[in-house]
């Protein structure tokens, strides 16, 4: 029997109790993994754990084995154990695909009108709104994000995304193509079938919504793997989807590790499309597995090393605020992080002074404290990786202007860090760090900055700050990036596409563009008078 996670939040910003099953969600039921193993979910803000874990006793009638009732205190060098979730395997992915195929052929896909799909998605939205505080607290608990950020940002963004695609569900249509009077020709946009989706740990609830909403709206059934580090909100939303009335097998969530569940999804012969968000390294593996199996359609949203360009005439007060958000929000664990901050030489000194003051004022600490802006990094692995980049910057000759050290003595907290005196060949300038580490670089003119900004293997996002509209638009058009902000950073909308150039990915998520990823176009010719 899967673990039931029960937790009482008693914090300044949220008080409430949660209790839900943390099994795999397959065919409308929460079940143990085939091997009966579990994965511990850790709190990244705690490094000296002491938590009571209860495992219920249960007889598995198929294997005649018992899980025994045990009460014990778990301790870990890496973080406090929040709970455990069922661990999926290749066999569990097979079972999820079986359920998804059955649903697609009977209760979903072309057998379920778009209007009904839209109503179910809208019902899910209503339930998420009812449980918004709970979802925000769960997101903060296992990801380390500040509760204020998850409640004001992540949860509303996830809800808005699902609501947006609920509106599209009954508007998926082809068109009539005029050819000749003797022929009637038209196209249909049909669902692909069973689609696989793999989401990351840095924005688990938002990524869950971005993936399932367009897939379900267009009539596909889903087998999704959340990150093993942050699975709680995905599992909780499955409970809400079941309550909303989604037929069994339409949405399946298999928690597990990338080399097992992720690989099984990417290489599965009966999954005909896979969407992945994560690192470029793993994205290559997903694409390779998709190619070596059944040449499944692939959407990839990968890494970034985004330039944030600040011209002499920028509004400094506003620019400093946006630049701080661009690099330090979500602990810097963002694919769109504005980690390369280019400042024109005329305002460089003043910008650096103000930006330093703003960055120094960031409150780092407990995600449930009311004034926290920056929580812990997600894991010891990520913490070590970021600190490794900071050491690399020092060794290669860059100068730490701010931060560069651990914050506090517990948890995976890192001080907001700013490097100066860099050169383009340094790892901290070239590679995605995925942490609260930025570089501030001086530039001369527009030609100089476009060259520097585009000197990267990535092309996910960029920003331009200037009061000159012509300069803003001209520069934005020259940047090789899938999204460019002007006089702001990081804002989004469900109706606007998201994706990257170069090694930042393939395809687009969000907006009408996302529907392309989840439909096949069929052309139909009807003979009205052609005789042989």
The residues annotated as belonging to the active site are: 301, 335
**Cβ atoms within 10 Å of 157's Cβ, excluding its own:** 18
**Residue 18 near residue 27 (C-beta atoms within 8 A):** no
Token representation of residue 52: 């009571």
- Dihedral of alpha carbons 414, 382, 333, 149, sign: negative
Give the Cα separation of 172 and 280 in Å (integer).
31
> What would the two tokens of residue 229 be?
């580090």
DSSP-H helix ranges across 169-231: 204-217
The residue among 216, 195, 200, 222 whose CA lies nearest residue 301 is 200
| Residue 363: Cβ within 10 Å count | 12
Q: How far is CA 278 from CA 26, 63, 148, 209, in A?
A: 24, 37, 25, 15
| Positive or negative torsion for Cα 196, 202, 208, 210 | negative
Among 389, 391, 314, which Cα is nearest to 355's? 314
Q: What tokens were used for 287? A: 């694409």
Regarding beta strands 273-277 and 483-486, do their DSSP bridges make them parallel or antiparallel, or are they unpaired?
unpaired
Q: Structure tokens of 371? A: 């004034």
Beta-strand pair 70-74/51-55: antiparallel
Cα separation of 481 and 340, whole Å?
14
Identify the helix (H) or strand (E) that includes residue 274: strand 273-277
* CA–CA gap between residue 326 and residue 306 (Å, rounded): 9
* Separation between Cα atoms, residue 30 and residue 252, nearest integer Å: 10
Q: Half-sphere exposure (CA, 13 Å, Cβ side) for 55?
A: 19
493 neighbors 285 (Cβ within 8 angstroms): no
- The span from the CA of 286 to the CA of 198, in Å, is 10
């Amino acid at each position: 029997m899967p673990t039931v996670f029960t937790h009482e939040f008693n914090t300044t910003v949220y008080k409430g109790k949660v209790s839900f099953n943390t099994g795999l969600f397959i065919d409308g039921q929460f079940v143990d993994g085939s091997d009966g193993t579990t994965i511990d979910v850790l709190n990244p803000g705690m490094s000296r754990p002491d938590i009571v874990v209860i495992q219920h006793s249960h007889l598995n009638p198929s294997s005649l084995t018992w899980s025994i009732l045990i009460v014990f205190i778990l301790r870990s060098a890496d973080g406090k154990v929040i709970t455990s979730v069922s661990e999926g395997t290749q066999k569990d992915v097979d079972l999820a695909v079986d359920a998804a195929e059955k649903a697609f052929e009977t209760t979903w896909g072309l057998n379920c009108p778009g209007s009904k799909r839209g109503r179910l998605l809208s019902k899910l939205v209503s339930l998420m709104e009812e449980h918004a505080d709970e979802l925000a607290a769960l997101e903060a608990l296992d990801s380390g994000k500040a509760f204020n950020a998850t409640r004001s940002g992540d949860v509303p963004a996830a809800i808005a995304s699902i609501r947006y695609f609920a509106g599209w569900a009954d508007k998926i249509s082809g068109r009539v193509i005029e050819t000749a009077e003797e022929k009637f020709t038209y196209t249909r946009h049909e669902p692909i079938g069973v689609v696989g989706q793999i989401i990351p740990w840095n924005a688990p609830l938002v990524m869950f919504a971005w993936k399932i909403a367009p897939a379900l709206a267009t009539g596909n059934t889903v087998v999704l793997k959340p990150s093993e580090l942050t699975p709680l909100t995905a599992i909780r939303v499955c409970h809400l989807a079941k309550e909303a009335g989604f037929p069994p097998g339409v949405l399946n969530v298999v928690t597990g590790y990338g080399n097992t569940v992720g690989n099984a999804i990417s290489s599965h012969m009966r999954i005909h499309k896979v969407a992945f968000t994560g690192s470029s390294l793993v994205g290559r593996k997903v694409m390779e597995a998709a190619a070596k199996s059944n040449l499944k359609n692939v959407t990839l949203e990968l890494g970034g090393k985004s330039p944030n360009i600040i011209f002499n005439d920028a509004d400094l007060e506003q620019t400093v605020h946006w630049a701080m958000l661009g690099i330090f929000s979500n602990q810097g664990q963002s694919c769109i992080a504005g980690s390369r901050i280019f400042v024109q030489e005329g305002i460089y000194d003043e910008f650096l002074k103000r930006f330093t003051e703003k960055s120094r004022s960031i409150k780092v600490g407990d995600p449930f404290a009311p004034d926290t802006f920056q929580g812990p990094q997600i894991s010891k692995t990520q913490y070590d990786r970021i600190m490794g980049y900071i050491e690399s910057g020092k060794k290669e000759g860059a100068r730490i202007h701010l931060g560069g050290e651990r914050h506090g003595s517990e948890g995976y907290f890192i001080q907001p860090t700013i490097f100066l005196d860099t050169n383009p060949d340094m790892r901290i300038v070239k590679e995605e760090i995925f942490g609260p580490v930025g570089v501030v670089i001086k530039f001369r003119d527009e030609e100089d900055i476009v060259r520097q900004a585009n000197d990267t293997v990535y092309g996910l996002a960029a920003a331009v700050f200037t009061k000159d509209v012509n300069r803003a638009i001209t520069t934005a058009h020259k940047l090789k990036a899938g999204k460019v902000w002007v006089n702001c950073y990081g804002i989004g909308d469900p109706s606007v596409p998201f994706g990257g150039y170069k090694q930042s990915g393939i395809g687009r998520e969000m907006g009408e563009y996302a529907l392309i990823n989840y439909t096949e176009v069929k052309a139909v010719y009807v003979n009205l008078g052609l005789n042989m």
